[in-house]
Amino acid sequence: MSQDPSTASPRGTSTGLGWPGDRSEVDRPSTFSTGLGWPAERAHPQEDPSFPQPSGTSPSAEQPDVVSRETSTGESAESGDEPGEDDDVDTHAATARLVTPAPEPTTQPVDAVAHARVIRTAGDLARVAARLDDDSTPLARMAEDTVRARQAAANRDPVQRPGATRILVVANQKGGVGKTTTTVNIAAALAQLGQRVLVIDLDPQGNASTALGVDHSRGVPSAYDALVDGEDLADLVSPVPDVPRLDAVPATIDLAGAEIELVSLVARENRLRRAIAGHPRVGTAETAGEDRYDYVFVDCPPSLGLLTLNALVAGREMLIPIQAEYYALEGLGMLLETVEMIKAHLNPDLVVSTIVVTMYDGRTRLASGVAQEVRDHFGDQVLKTAIPRSVRVSEAPSYGQTVMTYDPASPGALSYLEAAREIARKGAPQ
């Protein structure tokens, strides 16, 4: 039995996305992604049978003044205009606007997908989405996200320094959800916004060190020395090239052994807390002065072992990246139980202050469903800015850079900048 498109459920009404037990979204046809937040190539339109279509007369045909003449070519033919006029419109189209050739005239009502194939700018997409009076289409949502990110970046109000160093632990025992990417990019974004920031790489793989362009070959002073040998953190800090105000403590492969070595040490879960608290630039304006760090980010490995435990005992806030994919929420229960145990026994101040949805592809129902579900469960803890899936974000580390310096105007960088602003604006939890 096929589903009536007009009753297709809009965003956010599906239940159980990503939670165990609901597989309803798994069998959807996969969509082709350019990875840059733009519509897919014309040869690969999203043709989801349950894609909500506007019914009846095209809204843009009713109000032709709003949609550009180029984009209305199809409707003109439909409403019986002279063919000569179409040619004329095409000539203008080449010069007037950033558009691709208009589609063949059709007797079908013009829908969101047809519009999307001829429109190239985020502004155009947003306008057309509004005309279609259907903000539940994946393209409209994607356009909305892009426009919001660009507008927010343009609106550069200054970011206030927190009164005392905020320590954020970026953790999720799942691998590949964007912990490291989120850590380095939000840290770099905050530094670009004038904040003094320290990143502590606590993953033996040293991905954050790589992305920040900081040496993490074996033997280099690293987080291992602070954790296992009790060295001063200040002696292990390196400045991050290209990003003023951003420092990093690298992780070397030695950290892989720390997980075992820590077991026999005194106060084994408190060692990072002591190291951070002992840094002269960590504290309030009174205790650490004007040069204090405003933010310390700790990038955790994908496990709930002693390294992550050390981080959760050291931090006041926890930042959880959640990948907008199926199974995203599985395992989160265990993570939150661990947080409760740490709060009860080791660090009563710990708060899950921030959740960020990563690798978000607004054109897929799955991604928006997961994002909605995360919001339903966690409310205000979830940043309004989701991080789009973007090739530029994933290629930046291979140049030893964050996307904030590698391609600052890309949608990924703009989104991380806006996410950083949100974190700063929200302030430390009370």
Ligand X SMILES: Nc1ncnc2c1ncn2[C@@H]1O[C@H](COP(=O)(O)OP(=O)(O)O)[C@@H](O)[C@H]1O
Give whichever of 178 and 250 is closer to ligand X, judged by the CB atom: 178
Q: Does 308 bind Mg ion (CB under 5 A)?
A: no
Neighbours of 259 (CB within 10 A): 18
> Minimum distance between the CB of residue 227 and ligand X, rounded to whole angstroms?
19
- Cβ at position 384, least distance to Mg ion in Å: 24
Q: Are 387 and 358 in contact (CB under 8 A)?
A: yes
Candidate ranges 140-148, 200-208, 400-408, 421-429; the one touching Mg ion (CB under 5 A): 200-208
Residue 399 CB, shortest distance to ligand X, in Å, is 12
Indicate the residue among 71 and 390 with the shorter CB distance to ligand X. Answer: 390
292 binds, among ligand X, Mg ion, none (CB under 5 to 8 A by kind): none
Q: Tell whether residue 60 is a contact of ligand X (CB under 6 A).
A: no
Residues 384, 399: contact at Cβ < 8 Å? no
188 makes contact with ligand X (CB under 6 A) = no
Shortest distance in whole angstroms from residue 174 CB to ligand X? 7
Distance CA 210, CA 189 (A): 17
Pairing of strands 317-323, 351-358: parallel
Which positions from 389 through 428 interact with ligand X, judged by CB under 6 A?
Answer: 389-390, 393-394, 412
When the beta carbons of 73 and 308 are compared against ligand X, the nearer one is: 308
**Which partner in Mg ion, ligand X, none is near 176 (CB below 5 to 8 A by kind)?**
ligand X
Joined together, the tokens standing for residue 268 give 């084994």
H helix intervals, 199-293? 207-211, 223-227, 255-261, 271-277, 285-288
Q: By CB under 6 A, what part of segment 354-393 binds ligand X?
A: 358-359, 387, 389-390, 393
Q: Confirm or reject binding of residue 207 to Mg ion (CB under 5 A).
A: yes
- Please, what is the minimum distance in Å from the beta carbon of residue 73 to Mg ion? 48
> How is residue 17 annotated by DSSP?
T
Site string for ligand X, 286-325 (x = CB under 6 A): ----------------x-----------------------
> Least separation, in Å, of the C-beta of 169 and Mg ion?
13
Q: Which residue, 177 or 200, has its beta carbon nearer to ligand X?
A: 177
Q: How far is CA 29 from the centre of its chain?
A: 24
Q: Helix, strand, coil shares of the chain as percentages rounded to 5?
A: 40, 10, 50
181 binds ligand X (CB under 6 A): yes
Among 46, 72, 180, 185, binds Mg ion (CB under 5 A): 180
Smallest Cα–Cα separation from 92: which of 68, 74, 115? Answer: 68
Please name the amino acid found at residue 323. Answer: Q
What's the closest the beta carbon of residue 45 comes to ligand X, in angstroms? 22
Contact 248, 212 (CB under 8 A): yes
Among positions 115, 131, 141, 179, the unique one binding Mg ion when judged by CB under 5 A: 179
Applying CB under 6 A, which of residues 11, 179, 271, 292 lies at the interface with ligand X? 179
CA distance 165 to 200: 14
Binding partner of 358, given Mg ion, ligand X, none, CB within 5-8 angstroms per partner class: ligand X
Rg (CA), the chain: 25
Q: How many residues bind ligand X (CB under 6 A)?
A: 17
Q: Where are the alpha helices (DSSP H) in 253-305?
A: 255-261, 271-277, 285-288
Closest CA to 316 of 196, 188, 429, 197: 429
Show the tokens assigned to 366: 């799955």
Closest CA relative to residue 155, chosen from 417, 385, 355: 417
Footprint of ligand X (CB under 6 A): 175-181, 207, 302, 358-359, 387, 389-390, 393-394, 412
Footprint of Mg ion (CB under 5 A): 179-180, 203, 207
